[in-house]
Amino acid sequence: MPEDPLSTFRGARVLITGGLGFIGSNLARALSGAGARVHLVDCLVPSHGGSLFNIEGLTDHVDVTLRDLRDGDVITDLLRAAQFVFNLAGQRSHWDSMTDPQMDLDINCSAQLHLLENIRRTNPRVKVVFASTRQVYGIPKYLPVDEDHPTRPVDINGIHKVASECYHSLYARVHGLPCTILRLTNTIGPRMRIKDARQTFAGLWTRQAIEGQPFEIWGGTQVRDFNFVDDVVDALLRAAVSELSRGKIYNLGAAPTTLLELADIVRDITGCDYVVKAFPEARKPTDIGDYYANFNRIRVDLGWEPRTSLREAIMRTIEYYKKHLHRYV
């Protein structure tokens, strides 16, 4: 693998589903800057965080198709021409999946299966990297959680993500599609949803701290791991260019951090304080408790590890939203 995986993408045709979202738009910026020919597909569901502003300054360098993956074979020609597909489209709100499970099924299962069938028929040799989630593990039996940990999700979103992983793995095994699955943990950075806590509580904390509102911590002793979006982009790129990654599942992760430790960093940077409240009873049935990942497999296979400290990640995130807050609230 090249030391800089971006060098592989010069002139390459790349398709990103969910390309106007948080991670997709950051990935598009990296690929476009490396000289790739990038096409973004997104349906801009209002509550999912996608935005044309996420590609501000990039519109002359990427192509955009505003369509839903469930709407027939709308991207067949794009798939036929692609050399890489980064499949980032999905519904990521755990709470929304519990209040509207059919919507979650449609987006995280039906649309995914339709996309894979389309790839199988039109371009079965295209490299596919699928962004899954640590939510598939549910409540950890042990820490740190490795890829061999049982998948026993505690919410609808996690169940459907397991199903989608199985689709990708089956198409790799039976149809020979070169698929790789990354199980993402908590990702933070510029262009994440901050309007509410639908996708990440860290986004809401960021908004409230910038606005000078004391932000709420539920509990606070829970342990999590956090990746800066640039490090996640690096992992996606490494998975795409590696032959060793074909058919494999990889955890992403970082050093374990309590929510109180994260809150202290936000307070130090913004000067805004926080309040600690009891964890809501209504959320306890779908809470996973402590979680952090063992990401040794991707370190050994692909040479990936997080490069950005949590403090730097929070600082760069807050700097971005201080400039662009009105675009995201």
Count the helices and strands in the chain (H runs, E runs).
Answer: 11, 13
Rounded CA Rg of the chain: 19
Give the CATH number for residue 24. 3.40.50.720
Residue 56 in any domain: the answer is yes
Q: What is the DSSP letter of 92?
A: -
Rounded to an integer, what distance in angstroms lies between the CA atom of residue 128 and that of residue 266? 36
Residue 208 in any domain: the answer is no
Give the pLDDT confidence of 90-126 residue by residue, as tens digits: 988 888 899 999 999 999 999 999 999 999 999 999 9
Lowest mean pLDDT, pick from 48-52, 69-73, 207-211, 255-259: 69-73
For the full predicted model, state whether its pTM sits above 0.75. yes
63-75 per-residue burial string, b: 16 or more CB within 10 A, e: under 16: ebeeebbeeeeeb
Residue 204 in any domain: the answer is no
Rounded to an integer, what distance in angstroms lies between the CA atom of residue 177 and that of residue 174? 8
Residue 151 in any domain: the answer is yes
According to the model, what pLDDT value does residue 47 have?
74
pLDDT at 8 over 90: yes
Q: What is the DSSP letter of 255?
A: -
Residue 198 in any domain: the answer is no
* DSSP H or E segment with residue 37: strand 37-42
Largest CA distance in the chain: 55
Kindly give the pairing relationship between strand 249-251 and strand 215-218: unpaired
According to the model, what pLDDT value does residue 296 have?
98
Dihedral (C-alpha) 252, 258, 260, 261: value to the nearest 10 degrees?
-70
Tell me the residue type at 96.
D
Range of the domain at 158: 5-189+226-254+292-308
Residue 259 in any domain: the answer is no
Tell me the residue type at 306.
P
Region for 294 from its dihedrals, namely left if φ exceeds 0, alpha if ψ lies in -120 to 50, beta otherwise: beta
**CA proximity to 304, closest of 223, 225, 245:** 245
Average pLDDT value for the chain:
95
Rounded to an integer, what distance in angstroms lies between the CA atom of residue 256 and that of residue 262? 10
Domain count of the fold of the chain: 1
Residues in a beta bridge with 246: none
Tokens of 234: 């690096």
Rounded to an integer, what distance in angstroms lies between the CA atom of residue 122 and that of residue 82? 10
Contacts of 300 (CB under 8 A, 6+ apart): none
Query: First and final CA of the chain: distance in angstroms?
Result: 40
pLDDT at 304 over 90: yes
Average pLDDT over residues 68-84: 86
Tokens of 110: 């039906």
SS3 164: helix
pLDDT at 130 over 70: yes
Give the pLDDT confidence of 201-251 residue by residue, as tens digits: 999 999 999 999 999 999 999 999 999 999 999 999 999 999 999 999 999
Rounded to an integer, what distance in angstroms lies between the CA atom of residue 251 and that of residue 119? 25
Residue 318 in any domain: the answer is no
Residue 207 in any domain: the answer is no
Phi then psi dihedrals of residue 163, to 5 deg: -60, -45
Question: Are 82 and 14 contacting, i.e. CB atoms less than 8 angstroms apart?
Answer: yes
